[in-house]
Structure 1
Amino acid sequence: MHGCWTIDAVTYEQRQPLAELGPDVPAAVLAPRLAQFAAVARLEHVTRAAQLLAMPQPTLSRAVARLEEELGVDLLARQGRTVRLTRAGRVLLESAERALAELERGAEAARAEADPEAGRVAFGFLHTMGTDAVPALLRGFRAGYPRVRFQLVQEYVAAMLDRLRAGELDLCLVSPLPDAPDLVARPLDEQRLHLAVPADHRLAARRRIRLAEVAEEPFVAVEQGYGLRVLLDSFCAEAGFTPRVAFEGEEVETLRGLVAAGLGVALLPPALVPRPGVVELDVTAPRTRRAIGLAWVAGRPATRPVAAFRDFVLSRRGRLLDHD
């Protein structure tokens, strides 16, 4: 006997009873009926359950009867409008209660994500922003939204943008700014990049330098995929050479340590605290500055806490790097 059911306004034809489908019965088929069955089972009365669910009693009766037909078992023993659970009904009710409780927990978690006062923001940012700029942003924002929670992710740019597109992150503080049709990027500030050289380097007594003057020097740099590496390669190409990278790392302070040890030179953001053994030189040609901005996925709805934090960060345009 063929039948049909409707899920989210899409009607599917039932080719055979669910009891004959084995363990692969689609959860989407059972889910719409479980809450209805559970209400009838808890109250042991069809009319009162229909009132609780705000649906016509005949519609509820047919829904439970269809569930029994689809499962191929009797779930309820009927006595007029009063019902009693069969043994199979008790088994299903236990599972239905657990499933519905988990669904309610999920719904509550989803509501909490969008709570304007205590929701969550998943925020990615560059490693070099984590020492000063990001803590200052969070401190300023939390003054007005003290209960908003943050998931903070430090990553290189390519990985952050992948996670942004996948929905794992809401916003990213990035450099260089992405140029992609599926992303929105707004510039916030510019940061000077200095040439870091060992204190005993032949150029350490200088204040300014052209990047071409170190074309033959070994460089220490972040790994491929990091925004700083993209900029290093770009600036060196503009200066007419390809950098000879002797050491690669992930952390800027590690690179400063390598410079201090005399293992190479590096193009880095300014140090917040001077590093012994390292001298930072201004680069006059090319203009070694990096744009820092905020990125998010175009067209993706933002929860109220995400929108509030995004607006706050954008309001800091030109003041993100007050220490620089």
Structure 2
Amino acid sequence: MDIHQIKQVSEIMRWNSFTKAAEALNVTQPTISKSIKNLENELNTMVFIREGNQFKLTEAGETIMRYAGPILQMVDQLTAELNDLTYLNRGSIRIGIPPMAGTNFFPSVIKSFQELYPGISVTLVEEGARMIKDYIENGSLDVGVILLPVEEKAIDSFQIVDDRLKVIVPVSHPLAKQSRISLKILAEEKFILFSSGFALHDRIISECRKAGFEPRIVYESTQWDFIGEMVGADLGITMLPDTICRSLDSNKVRAVSLIDPIIPWQLAIAWKRDSYLSRAAQEWIAFTREKFKAT
């Protein structure tokens, strides 16, 4: 058994498909099938069994998967440390960025970083802040942008954005003429929220419950601009950070200040505490710290 076969077993279970696993690993499907067959011959037992459209692990497969995560993470750390020997002439960083933060804050930052370190490969993962935090904790990401506050002691961070939420309504909505409102008057409204993988999803629901009502959620999406368009089509209301509100179509929606309560939207660069950070990741942290401090 070698590291490639362990990675292949892990990817097959991740995608529930030999074909998709092969694509993820940049090999052909026959190549990965032959490799797994060789592994099964070596072990003298099957690793996978097919049940309908699902691949299931045998006891041998489950044993491999139990060790696969730690082994692959150690290999990644070994690779990262060896890349450090060239002192940032090469290397890679896996960065998680939520859609709203990516659009509004990071294109110029990433461009400046790549100009300074052209040999560093940057892999961007666009997910909600909640998923990004989980990926940082399990080692799938080196660094990422998360929503504060964060209670996990395993995470280190520093704040880069301090904003607050506004209520977004269609231009025809009676509240569109208000300059400020309290959350409790939205009790009978239809809400359009980010999907549950986004920290803002739970934050809004929690604040509504504190205000004494359960929000009636009619749609969920992963894209802030699509949410804005749905509000503009009079399908419901939403809450978005003030920074994002400036990018919405003022002919379709209005952003109304929320004053009771004020709901902060604070973003931070985060990484796993007490875990190895490559020199490239350390430089990204230092670079963004100075970049956002300047702005």
| TM-score after normalising by structure 1 | 0.62
Q: Secondary structure at the match of 1:130?
A: helix
Which residue of the partner structure matches residue 142 of structure 1? Answer: 114
Which residue of the partner structure matches residue 61 of structure 2? Answer: none
Amino acid at match of 1:193: L
1:251 to 204, 215, 223: 223
CA distance change for structure 1 residues 266 and 24 in 2, over 3 Å: closer, same or farther?
A: closer
Consecutive unaligned residues of structure 2, counting only runs of 5 or more, are: 1-40, 45-77
Which residue of the partner structure matches residue 264 of structure 1? Answer: 236
Q: Secondary structure at the match of 1:234?
A: helix
Q: How far apart are 1:239 and its partner, in Å?
A: 2.6
Q: How does 1:161-200 map to 2 (within 5 A)?
A: 161-200=133-172
Which residue of the partner structure matches residue 247 of structure 2? Answer: 273
* d(CA) in 2 for partners of 1:178, 1:190: 15
Q: Secondary structure at the match of 1:262?
A: coil
1:152 to 120, 124, 134: 124
Which residue of the partner structure matches residue 299 of structure 1? Answer: 274
* d(CA) in 1 for partners of 2:192, 2:126: 21
CA contact (8 A) 1:114 1:120 kept: no
Moved over 4 A (4+): 22-25, 107-110
* d(CA) in 1 for partners of 2:42, 2:216: 60
Q: Which moved more, 1:158-167 or 1:282-291?
A: 158-167
Q: How far apart are 1:238 and its partner, in Å?
A: 3.3
Relative to total residues, which structure has the larger helix share, 1 or 2?
Answer: 2
Amino acid at match of 2:156: V
* d(CA) in 2 for partners of 1:291, 1:109: 30
Q: Cα RMSD over matched residues?
A: 2.5
Q: Which moved more, 1:244-253 or 1:107-116?
A: 107-116
Q: How far apart are 1:210 and its partner, in Å?
A: 1.4
Q: Secondary structure at the match of 2:255?
A: strand
Q: Secondary structure at the match of 1:180?
A: coil
Q: Deviations over 1:113-149 (max 9, x none)?
A: 7641331111001111111211122123234223321
Q: How far apart are 1:281 and its partner, in Å?
A: 0.8
* d(CA) in 2 for partners of 1:108, 1:283: 48
Q: Secondary structure at the match of 1:131?
A: helix
* d(CA) in 1 for partners of 2:154, 2:173: 45
CA contact (8 A) 2:80 2:91 kept: no
| TM-score after normalising by structure 2 | 0.67
* d(CA) in 2 for partners of 1:226, 1:109: 29
2:203 to 222, 231, 239: 231
Does the alignment pair 1:201 with 2:176?
no
CA distance change for structure 1 residues 274 and 176 in 2, over 3 Å: closer, same or farther?
A: same
Amino acid at match of 1:273: S
Q: How many residues align?
A: 219
Consecutive unaligned residues of structure 1, counting only runs of 5 or more, are: 1-21, 26-106
Q: How far apart are 1:178 and its partner, in Å?
A: 2.5
CA contact (8 A) 1:256 1:278 kept: yes
The structure number with the bigger radius of gyration is: 1
Name which structure has the greater RCO, CA cutoff 8 Å, separation 6+: 2
Which residue of the partner structure matches residue 310 of structure 1? Answer: 285
Q: Deviations over 1:18-47 (max 9, x none)?
A: xxxx9459xxxxxxxxxxxxxxxxxxxxxx
Q: Percent identity?
A: 24
Q: How far apart are 1:158 and its partner, in Å?
A: 3.0
CA distance change for structure 1 residues 23 and 289 in 2, over 3 Å: closer, same or farther?
A: closer
Q: How does 1:31-42 map to 2 (within 5 A)?
A: none
CA distance change for structure 1 residues 303 and 227 in 2, over 3 Å: closer, same or farther?
A: same
* d(CA) in 2 for partners of 1:114, 1:317: 29
